[in-house]
Amino acid sequence: MSPDKKLISAVDLSVTFKVPSGSLRAVDTVSFYVNAGETVAIVGESGSGKTTLALSLMRAYAPTSGNLFFEDQDITHLSEKALKDFRKKVQMVFQDPYSSLDPRMTVSQVIAEPLRAHFKLSAKERDEKAGESLKAVGLSPDFLNRRASQFSGGQRQRIAIARALALDPKVLVADEPVSALDVSTQAQIVNLLQSIQEERNISYILVSHDLRLVYHLATRVVVMYLGKVVEEGACDDVVANPQHPYTAALLSAVPALDEASRRDRIVLNGAPPSPIARPTGCSFHPRCPIARPECSTNMPELQTMPNGRKVACFYPGELQPHISFTSSK
């Protein structure tokens, strides 16, 4: 598969949930793709729809409308057997390694769980595969018979990654994969993910609120607000020159040591509105520092700019943050 071949993609994808007060559209007409060997980050505040989008790409949630494709095959409506086969190819690493691993299980049992579900292997073959997966994440196969509860947070996250890699997936969805870890351990896991990608040409879908992490790992970035994509582009370009004021505010919120970044921080008013009762016009306008009257009545479409960037804003590029973390890449 060529590097620019779309491996997994969504076209006009929407996901709606029934709630007591009505319908909640968590993902709203989103088009998205990931190429082979690429890392695409989905960023936004809590409630932006980023995790729901990622889980929908795995078919953990059924789309309300739109289409999903994997290797050019429409996977929007699959039989249980076909869905099980698809899920071998798309695996997930969760945010909290303390809750994602059963502390009563041995490492061998943890990694063997997906192997048992998808392959007919003997116990010896499962142990051999589990040992290979542990070595791939820098852990000794001697750990196989120890319980998950005996390991540190960083080691547990490595075990979680080993479990996902055991099925040789083509896509790994990483939902806030380092946010529960200390800073030094975060760096180790980031380096591990980068080395695995180089060795296996695996694609990553990175769900994160940490723009500093995204800057170091992602090829492209997709910014979501209230279920919609408001900006998309090459990661370096988006960080250096954000076009949507929401993206600028997210970048401005990255903790900084220099006085200029702290002094010029873009502060948004209030919390995101409820997705059940969306504002008229641009959903971001009640919090936007540069909103004009038309923003409260008209919804900007996601437009492709001459440089290939996509942005949904009537005044793109007008708000720019002062950031300092890009010098560390």
Lowest mean pLDDT among 149-158, 172-181, 257-266: 257-266
Judged against a pLDDT cut of 60, whether residue 3 lies above it is answered with no
pTM summary value: 0.92
Average pLDDT, the chain: 91
pLDDT tens-digit readout, 15-29: 999 999 888 999 999
pLDDT given at position 37: 94
What's the mean pLDDT in 19-45?
A: 94
Reduced to 3 states (helix: H, G, I; strand: E, B; else coil), residue 132 is helix
Residue with the larger pLDDT of the pair 1 and 243: 243
Query: Which stretches within the chain are classed as H helix?
Result: 50-57, 80-89, 97-100, 107-118, 123-136, 153-165, 183-200, 211-217, 235-240, 245-252, 259-263
Judged against a pLDDT cut of 80, whether residue 292 lies above it is answered with yes
What's the mean pLDDT in 108-121?
A: 91
What's the mean pLDDT in 143-158?
A: 91
- What order of strands is seen across the sheet that includes strand 73-74? 22-35, 6-19, 65-70, 73-74
Three-state secondary structure readout of 265-282 = CCCCCCCCCCCCCCCCCC
pLDDT given at position 2: 43
Judged against a pLDDT cut of 70, whether residue 327 lies above it is answered with no
pLDDT given at position 191: 92
Judged against a pLDDT cut of 80, whether residue 259 lies above it is answered with no
pLDDT band at 255 (very low <50, low <70, confident <90, very high): confident
pLDDT tens-digit readout, 214-226: 999 999 999 999 9
- For 251-268, b/e burial (b = at least 16 CB within 10 A) is bbbbebeeeebeeebbeb
Please give the Cα distance from 177 to 201 (Å, whole number). Answer: 19
Q: What percent of the chain has pLDDT over 70?
A: 95
pLDDT band at 275 (very low <50, low <70, confident <90, very high): confident
Name which of 50, 49, 29, 36 is nearest 8 in CA terms.
36
End-to-end distance of the chain based on CA atoms, in angstroms? Answer: 29
